């Protein structure tokens, strides 16, 4: 009877907390997508429906020899934005070239790194290599763009530097943690079987490819992007990096002084997983800084006034694919926080099970801090 009464008393607050968590998650994803689209819109200008009809007619006449004449015709063409001011069509930069080699190269690096990790996990019992190859592969995939010869775009360099810094920082921290702990029980249980080991590294490969899409796709574009988007994305990235690093440091220090207890201080008092929240901000920042360069205006310009709705939507295909990164990361983190993807929640309850811990779980948001 007492248990039933307590459960009934906690039910309204649990429902309220679930609604608040869902609202905060939706707002973060919505703000990320809107910011990316806004940056792309600001860079590429209005749709061709606003173009001067005579100029569009001239572009249509040039279509048979588009490969030769598009470059020269774009310099003189004009777009009339909604505000009425005339700007060059080069603002839409339809001459931007997309080279998929950096994306293929990045995918190959992730594949080789995770294949090596899988082989080492099958042959040995150590877990030291797991985070070095899993998280460290992001650094390996970004290095070609960061250290490549030639006049690489500053946007790509900044994006590559951001990914490299995050990868080295996180891989180093996780390596230090596994050296101190000796093993991760979650991985120990998973690596007992061949199928479990292979499935882990396949998922690690998927994580690497999908998570890095904002940078790897951004590296395929010859566009310089939009300075405002690069700055805004960099600021969000720095905020996320600070949040993630601070959360990891606070938990490390708390565990050193309070072994066997769950961390509920600092950022951990407003979020059960503030490090994951910081990670979401990091990749949202990388997405925003690359968003304007991911819009392909060539198809719309080539079609002129006959551009269809599909042509207009198709120009955003790369940006849409890049948005899979924060969407996938949210799915991954939320699944782990709720216990639907891993045994993290079950293990934590078994380790910290107490009325105080149950109160913490019911009152503190899983990922997104309760700011209001």
- Report d(CA 183, CA 40) in Å as an integer: 45
Check residue 183 and give its pLDDT: 78
Give mean pLDDT, residues 211-232. Answer: 95
pLDDT 10s digits, 61-106: 343 433 333 333 333 333 333 333 333 333 345 567 899 999 999 9
Name the residue with higher pLDDT: 302 or 43.
302
CA-to-CA dists, residue 245 to 132, 134, 173, 251, angstroms: 17, 18, 9, 10
Give mean pLDDT, residues 207-236. Answer: 95
Task: Reply yes or no on whether the pLDDT at 316 is more than 70.
Answer: yes
By CB atoms closer than 10 A (0-12, 13-18, 19+), residue 96 is middle
Task: Reply yes or no on whether the pLDDT at 157 is more than 90.
Answer: yes
Residue with tokens 């201080």: 265
Helices (H), the chain: 2-44, 53-62, 66-76, 101-123, 128-134, 136-147, 154-181, 185-190, 194-211, 213-218, 227-257, 274-290, 298-303, 309-314, 317-322, 324-338, 344-352, 355-363
Task: Reply yes or no on whether the pLDDT at 124 is more than 90.
Answer: no
**Range of weakest confidence among 9-18, 118-127, 346-355:** 9-18
Check residue 346 and give its pLDDT: 81
- Report d(CA 329, CA 47) in Å as an integer: 32
Structural domain range at position 337: 98-363
Give mean pLDDT, residues 147-163. Answer: 84
Name the residue with higher pLDDT: 12 or 187.
187
* Domain presence at residue 23: no
Check residue 70 and give its pLDDT: 33
What's the chain's average pLDDT? 78
Task: Reply yes or no on whether the pLDDT at 317 is more than 60.
Answer: yes
Task: Dig out the tokens for 86 from the structure.
Answer: 């005339």
Give mean pLDDT, residues 323-339. Answer: 91
* Domain presence at residue 232: yes
- Report d(CA 330, CA 361) in Å as an integer: 19
pLDDT 10s digits, 174-204: 999 888 888 777 787 788 889 999 999 999 9
* Domain presence at residue 154: yes
- Tell me the backbone φ, ψ of residue 280, rounded to 5 degrees: -60, -40
pLDDT 10s digits, 284-302: 999 999 999 999 877 555 5
Check residue 355 and give its pLDDT: 86
Q: 97: alpha, beta or left, given left = phi > 0 and alpha = psi -120 to 50?
A: beta
- Report d(CA 1, CA 101) in Å as an integer: 65
Query: In the chain, how many domains are there?
Result: 1
Task: Dig out the tokens for 288 from the structure.
Answer: 């925003």
* Domain presence at residue 84: no
* Domain presence at residue 30: no
Residues in Cβ contact with 339 at an 8 Å cutoff, skipping those fewer than 6 apart: 345, 346
Check residue 327 and give its pLDDT: 93
CA-to-CA dists, residue 43 to 76, 96, 165, 227, angstroms: 18, 13, 27, 9
Give mean pLDDT, residues 297-308. Answer: 64
**Range of weakest confidence among 48-57, 298-307, 319-328:** 48-57
Name the residue with higher pLDDT: 274 or 6.
274
Give mean pLDDT, residues 342-366. Answer: 85
Check residue 82 and give its pLDDT: 36
- Tell me the backbone φ, ψ of residue 124, rounded to 5 degrees: -120, 175
Check residue 56 and give its pLDDT: 35
Cα angle 330, 208, 298 (rounded to 5 degrees) comes to 85
Check residue 281 and give its pLDDT: 97
Q: Which of 188, 198, 211 is nearest to 287 (CA)?
A: 211
Question: Percent of the chain having pLDDT more than 90?
Answer: 49
How many other C-beta atoms can be found within 10 angstroms of the C-beta atom of residue 313?
11
Residue with tokens 């009152």: 363
Bridge partner list, 351: none
Longest Cα–Cα distance in the chain: 82
- Report d(CA 120, CA 130) in Å as an integer: 9
Residue with tokens 């039910």: 11
* Domain presence at residue 93: no
The C-alpha R_g of the chain, in whole angstroms, comes to 24
Question: Percent of the chain having pLDDT more than 70?
Answer: 71
Bridge partner list, 112: none
Check residue 18 and give its pLDDT: 47
Check residue 184 and give its pLDDT: 76
- Report d(CA 28, CA 229) in Å as an integer: 17
* Domain presence at residue 55: no
* Domain presence at residue 34: no
């Amino acid at each position: 009877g007492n248990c039933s009464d307590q459960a009934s008393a906690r039910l309204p607050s649990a429902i309220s907390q679930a609604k608040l968590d869902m609202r905060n998650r939706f707002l973060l994803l919505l703000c990320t997508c809107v910011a990316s689209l806004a940056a792309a819109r600001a860079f590429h200008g209005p749709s061709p429906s606003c173009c001067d009809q005579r100029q569009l007619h001239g572009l249509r006449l040039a279509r048979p020899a588009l490969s030769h004449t598009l470059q020269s015709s774009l310099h003189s063409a004009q777009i009339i934005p909604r505000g009425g001011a005339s700007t060059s069509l080069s603002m839409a930069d339809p001459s931007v070239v997309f080279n998929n080699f950096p994306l293929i190269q990045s995918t190959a690096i992730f594949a080789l790194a995770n294949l090596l990790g899988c082989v080492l996990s099958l042959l040995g019992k150590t877990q030291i290599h797991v985070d070095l190859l899993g998280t460290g592969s992001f650094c390996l995939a970004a290095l070609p763009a960061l250290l490549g010869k030639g006049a690489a775009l500053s946007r790509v360099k900044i994006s590559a530097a951001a990914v490299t810094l995050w990868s080295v920082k996180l891989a180093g921290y996780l390596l230090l943690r596994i050296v101190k702990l000796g093993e991760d029980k979650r991985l120990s249980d998973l690596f007992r079987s061949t199928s479990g080991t292979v499935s882990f590294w396949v998922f690690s490969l998927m994580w690497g490819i999908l998570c890095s899409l904002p940078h790897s796709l951004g590296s395929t574009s010859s566009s310089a992007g939009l300075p405002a988007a690069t700055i805004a994305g960099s600021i969000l990235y720095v905020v996320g990096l600070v949040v993630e690093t601070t959360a990891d440091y606070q938990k490390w220090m708390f565990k050193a002084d309070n072994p066997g207890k769950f961390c509920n201080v600092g950022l951990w008092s407003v979020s059960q997983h503030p490090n994951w929240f910081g990670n979401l901000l990091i990749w949202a920042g990388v997405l925003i800084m690359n968003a304007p360069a991911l819009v392909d205006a060539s198809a719309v310009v080539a079609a002129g006034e006959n551009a269809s709705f599909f042509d207009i939507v198709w120009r955003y295909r790369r940006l849409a694919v890049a948005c899979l990164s924060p969407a996938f990361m949210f799915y991954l983190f939320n699944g782990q926080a709720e216990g639907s993807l891993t045994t993290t929640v079950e293990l934590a309850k078994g380790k910290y099970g107490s009325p105080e811990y149950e109160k913490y779980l019911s009152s503190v948001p899983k990922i997104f801090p309760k700011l209001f």
